[in-house]
Structure 1
Amino acid sequence: MSSSGASSAAQTAHTSSTDEDLSKPLWKHVSRFDKDPKGGGNVRWQCNFCSKSFSSSYTRVRAHLLKIAGQGIGPCSKVKASDLLAMQRFEEECKEIMKQNAPKKVPLPPSSSTGSLGCTSMFVAPSYDLKKRKTSGNVSALEKAFNMAARDQLHAEIARMFYSGGLPFHLARNPYYASSYTFAANNALSGLLQPIRDTWREKGVSIVSDGWSDSQRRPLINFMAVSEGRAMFLKAIDCSGETKDKHFIANLLKEVINEVGHDKVVQVVTDNAPNCKAAGQLIEAQFPSIFWTPCVVHTLNLALKNICAAKNVEVNQIVYGECSWISDIAGDVMLVKNFIMNHSMRLAIFNDFNSLKLLSVAETRFASVIVMLKRFKLLKQGLQSMVISDKWNCYRDDDVGKAKFVKEKVLDDIWWDSIDYILSFTSPMYDMLRECDTDKPCLHLVYDMWDTMIEKVKTAIYRKEAKRKEEESSFYEVVQEILFDRWNKSNTSLHCLAHSLNPRYYSEEWLSAGSNRVPPHKDTEIYAERVKCLKRYFPNSADRTKANVEFAHFSMKSGLFNDVDSINDRATSEPHDWWAVHVASLSLDEPDLEAVVFTDDVDDDIGDEATDIVSNE
């Protein structure tokens, strides 16, 4: 490839209507095929130089052609030095074209280029020379009294907002538009978030991270700080052209941790993707007092997907054999919904018999199948009235077969019983998901929530199958294995320590509510994980011994914990309140451990519709 060829190609890219031709110019040196069936942003392609085939994103295409090491792909052996130089020049030319085509700030000068703010307006071009009125000094007394320079600059700021955003000018007549500026002008808002930051050292803070795509399909990773249910947005990183492997994500997390202060951070919360888990392990290795915690809500959602949308693959045949009927029911529901919503006449008939609407649940929403089934159960009576009505019978549709299928399903009592059964045994999982997907701190409740939820699932399945507790159920065994597997992958030492520090689990009221309940200090699994936590919080053996002695007094209700009010309040008080009232100066009341009691096990998928961070590897 010659330099002139690269230059002409750059001119072609300049006239192209797509941004991808300029931002990813080296695609022209490979043959692109269809997308990778495994999903993600990978594309199958073949190098035009060496004819080797790969499946990856553009990052590795570029690394292969430009012989960049450390990107998970080997360099192209057929690219000559002249080809390499031409492609590098080609990239530079495309970058220059993009720079020239980028939106530019339009100079929007106020009536005075400088004023009482002591700086030149950001809207004045460097070569723009404004004429000033002749005054006895640099600023007239009238201008100084009314702060005219600041007013002019504010007008310029507002005007540019309207111009650059294409906003209609009548927006300025909106009373709320004016009142927002009035409120901002009359209230000192500069330190609005500082009181929240000031609580982080005592209460601890969780760093929450997740990936999503904006309206332009740019991959973003956002970071938030959450403490006592109050979330603060920190920043969002544009990851276009980056390989989101464990090192990349770990480096971003380290930057945020250092900005917040590693001594204030209790945990980092991400989803359960392998690259996020590996990044969490790197964070734990560098910061021993910080734990990586997978999102509980995301974990529950994955468990529901494993049950309600079992995959028909060789390694999953047992699960598919027991759970495929759930996928069939969910498929029937989607067919009925689409049949009604995809035609205006059918939708009009549906609206005549139902006050509620059919939902279009996004696939990325948590428990989407359960949400849809719940809505269908509410619509049952209206759907049945619709399919037996004269309007439905008189309406002639091209697809008579589907119309007949919809009518048969909606009038089938066995089909509705199956929906009721699905909702009954998934209800404990869905309820736990919704309870954790709130601003309320729940890290200290998660361990017990899982145990209680699994027991409720068993009760619902055994009631439907009319089995006694000592009998075996093949369906429940599959569901239980899925739940156990998800819990074992997401359970951390921090969950166990928080469970151990919850005074409610030592009260007689809680212990007597279940036959198999034991106080946390007598649970083998919790004991082992608690020991790991204390070793990380107290690396000094003398400090750790002191903390262990104090924990023994706390768990045995002895010493300073032998007070009558302290014992009685364990069952009724919130852990936050109990520790604040009944604990004085103890090792167990160190900020790190106190933060465990106050910490949220937050949902990292804010708004329930965020996209997972998916590795391109």
Structure 2
Amino acid sequence: MAAADASFNARDHGTALAEKNRVQCNYCGKVMSGFYRLKYHLGGIRGDVTPCEKVPENVEEYFRNILLGELHHPDRPRKSNVCSNSNGVKRIKLEAIQNANYESGSHEDVESELEGSTQHVSLPSRRIGSLTGSDNEKTNGSLSWQTQKSIGRFFIENGIDFSVANSPSFRDMINATLCHSPGKYEIPSCDELKGLILQEEAKEMREHGERIRHSWASTGCSILLDGWIDDQNGRNLVNFIVDCPQGPIYLRSSDVTASIDDVDALQLLLDGVIEEVGVHNVVQIIASSTKGWMGHVGKQFMERQRTVFWTVSASHCIELMLEKISTMDSVSGILDKARTITRFIHGDAAVLQLFRNYSGSRELIKPSKVRLAMPFMTLENIVLEKENLQAMFASSASNWASTTKGNRVVNLVKDRSFWNGATMVVKAAIPLVNVVRLINRADKPQVGYIYETMDQVKETIGKEFNKKKALYMPIWNVIDEIWNTHLHSPLHAAAYYLNPSLFYSSDFNCDEEVSSDLLCCICMVQDEHTQVLINLQLDKYINGKDDFREGSNMDQRNKYLPGKEIFHSAEWWLRYGNQCPELQKFAIKILSQTCDGASKYGLKRSLSEKLFTNGRNHMEQQPLSDLAFLHYNLQLQNSQLAVWGGIEADEIDPMDAWIFDEEPDLVSGR
């Protein structure tokens, strides 16, 4: 919760006790008299009460800004003016409360604070400002520091040019939002936004990053490479993102164009990033692509780095599988016919409306954030709408069927071989599409399930084809090729082994590959004595001894399955692995990793491209670096608040690439 989002009511941060007028802080447990003192306690303002040492920084900042901003205004009495006698204290306290305008409390707070006093004060109702939350802003025309920072954060987060702040229409918009005439408020200038406000926001973001960094020692982290080719200048650029259960952090950007053919130079770059994050913290590097410089450096990375794994984004690898499947003769022909149907229906508003009438307003095209999944998802829709499509074109109302294009579509929807082929393609591809859905819906690390999931995909496809090898083996071969070449990491098999919901199930399969990969991960632990202890402690986990006896119970394991509760398998180890501390730490670090890459965060690349524009001096470059750091980390914070919830897109562009034959570029990521 940002400071600007903190509750206006002190009751959200304290608990009223049975004893009259006594309040207990929710953070440190300190008891004090009334909610008004609680606000000073939370805001860290010394005086009648000691500051809270455990209050979150954003909450402390919020209450401090309100109390100091209002009570210490030059036109209002200061706390230092309190008289020594009790009546004077009450008088000044009443003035302070009136001056505070109830910004962070309710009338009941004030009444409980003053209950028992010989004085009675009538306190008028105040309405919280819709944008600023400060009545002071309404009276003197100046925006609070917090409001100015909120405006700055809006500019930075959305990559808006600071010069827009000088626009009269922008100023009119802010004043209209505050229900005042244009020109009433002094909006932060362009210089203020890119100066003090940017510096302050960057400072707060670095503090946020430091809090996340502290978790890396216990959970480990993954470095995500977000690489692309700059369309305008043809440069090879990469963003480095550090991902862990506490949240992702944008680290920095690099231009690797000069080193694109120098694997040693690229290795040194990666070594520097690992050292910056902490060699003991980094568990794996996840590349965003298998092509270009990432493909070259990935082949040699594991030979040089003995403590960090290299893999490729799981969703990208699924895209590669779908791409290869789409090029098969038996599949590409069906997808072309499906495209013909969708072009005809979506190419004419009247035909599209007719289809919606028959389908009950359901859409035919299934837009997707994973572009190579879209043709298969749309084909699945076509198969589901088979009867409606056939009825639509068989209807006498379908006059469009008399045209050349329409007649071709009419023949397609009558063609039994098309429907048989479409059904077969759906059976082959949709299980893979569902894997991407699973990855993108999850708000917990999925590394403990990817190994089992890919096996289940193959089994599902085999069953869909009635175990006929001639039909399903071509699909299996595509999956195996991408899995073995790019996606599979010893980390995945070790996570499968250490995932209690899978390990203690009746169908767990510890084959030679799983055992070998687990041993490989143990050998990645730098301390040899710790390796020995992990191997010894594995016996208790394998045989369900001591605390693991209770943890291996079906009910306890199911608590930690994805979607069941908020827990994941690393948290199972926190509860049941205490008697095996070395194994516990090892398991938590592995199970806390993601198996997906940076693409899930959808970072915009334009600001990174500006970073490497030639001709800037150091004085110009530093603010731009701060801006990029803040811009990307704000995007990453928001991506956590709005989990994808799947791979379906909210809207579809009528000129979508799949409909009009333009193939997406998997190398540049565009």
Task: State the partner residue of 1:171.
Answer: 173
Structure 1 counterpart of 2:493, one-letter code: C
Which residue, 522, 537, 546 being the options, matches 1:550? 537
Contact kept in structure 2, 1:356 and 1:379, CA below 8 Å: no
Aligned match of 1:454: 458
Deviation at 1:414, TM superposition (A): 4.2
2:469 matched residue in structure 1: 473
Amino acid at match of 1:458: G
**What's the counterpart of residue 425 of structure 2?**
422
Task: Report if aligned partners of 1:201, 1:591 keep a CA contact under 8 Å in 2.
Answer: no
1:435-484 C-alpha deviation (Å, 9 max, x unpaired) = 1234321111111112222111111111xxxxxx5xx5212222222222
Give 1:553 shift.
Answer: 2.6
Tell me what 1:412 maps to: 415
For residues 336-395 of structure 1, what are the alpha-carbon distances to aligned partners after superposition, in whole Å with 9 as ceiling and x for unaligned?
Answer: 222333445544554555523443858962423212212323544543344234453168
- Per the alignment, residue 211 of structure 2 pairs with 195
Does the C-alpha gap of structure 1 residues 189 and 389 become closer, same or farther in structure 2, counting only changes over 3 Å?
Answer: farther
- Deviations along 1:302-337, one digit per CA (max 9) or x if unpaired, are 222222322xxxxxxxxxxxxx22211100011222
Q: CA deviation at 1:203?
A: 1.1
TM normalised by structure 2 equals 0.56
Q: Distance in 1 between matches of 2:587 and 2:453?
A: 21
The aligned runs of 1:46-445 (5 Å cut-off) are 160-162=162-164, 168-173=170-175, 175=177, 191-212=207-228, 220-228=237-245, 230-237=247-254, 243=260, 246-247=263-264, 249-274=266-291, 275-310=293-328, 324-344=329-349, 346-347=351-352, 349-350=354-355, 353-354=358-359, 355-359=361-365, 365-393=371-399, 397=403, 400=404, 402-437=405-440, 438-445=442-449
CA distance in 1, matches of 2:313, 2:455: 17
Residues of 1 paired with 2:282 and 2:437: CA distance?
25
- Asked if 2 retains the 8 angstrom alpha-carbon contact of 1:504 and 1:571, the reply is yes
Distance 1:203 1:176 in 2: 45
Secondary structure in 2 matching 1:209: strand
Structure 1: which 5+ runs fail to align? 1-140, 311-323, 463-468
Please tell me whether the aligned partners of residues 249 and 276 of structure 1 are also in contact (alpha carbons under 8 angstroms).
Answer: no
Give the aligned partner of residue 582 of structure 2: 588
> Structure 2 counterpart of 1:477, which letter?
M
Counterpart contact for 2:226–2:598, Cα < 8 Å: yes
Q: Kindly, what percent of the aligned residue pairs are identical?
A: 20
In structure 1, what is the Cα distance between the partners aligned to 2:270 and 2:558? 38
CA contact (8 A) 2:345 2:355 kept: yes
CA distance in structure 2 between the aligned counterparts of 1:241 and 1:166, rounded to whole angstroms: 44
Question: Are 2:497 and 1:500 aligned?
Answer: yes
Distance in 2 between the 1:357 and 1:444 partners? 36
CA distance in 2, matches of 1:337, 1:217: 36
> 2:164 aligns to what SS in structure 1?
helix
Aligned-pair distance for 1:292? 0.7
Counterpart AA for 1:433: V
1:279–1:194 Cα change, 3 Å: same
- Cα distance in 1, alignment partners of residues 262 and 167 from structure 2: 36
Aligned to 1:603: 597
Counterpart contact for 1:271–1:604, Cα < 8 Å: yes
Task: Give the 3-state SS of the residue equivalent to 2:285 in structure 1.
Answer: strand
Quickly say closer, same or farther: Cα 1:395–1:570, change in 2 above 3 A.
closer
- Counterpart Cα distance in 2 of 1:281 and 1:243: 15
**Residue 534 of structure 1 pairs with residue 522 of structure 2:** yes
Question: Which of 484, 488, 492 pairs up with 1:491?
Answer: 488
Distance 1:411-1:248 versus aligned 2 partners, 3 A rule: farther
Partner SS state of residue 230, structure 1: coil
Give how far 1:268 is off: 0.9
State the TM-score, normalizing by the size of structure 1.
0.60
The Cα shift of 1:280 comes to 3.3
* Number of residue pairs matched by the alignment: 435
d(CA) in 2 for partners of 1:367 and 1:229? 30
Cα gap change, 1:501/1:308 in structure 2, threshold over 3 Å: closer, same or farther?
Answer: same
Letter in 1 for 2:449: L
- Structure 1 CA distance for aligned equivalents of residues 519 and 576 of structure 2: 24
Q: 1:327 to 1:395 in 2, by over 3 A?
A: closer
How many Å apart are 1:234 and its aligned residue? 3.1
**Aligned with 1:262: secondary structure?**
coil
Residue 234 of structure 1 aligns to which amino acid in structure 2?
Answer: L
Aligned partners of 1:380 and 1:291: how far apart in 2?
47
**In the TM superposition, what is the alpha-carbon distance from 1:163 to its structure 2 partner?**
5.8
Residue pair 1:206, 1:269 contacting (<8 A) in 2 also:
yes
1:208 to partner: Cα distance = 1.2
> For residues 250-286 of structure 1, what are the alpha-carbon distances to aligned partners after superposition, in whole Å with 9 as ceiling and x for unaligned?
4553443333223221111114515424423554445
Distance 1:176 1:302 in 2: 51
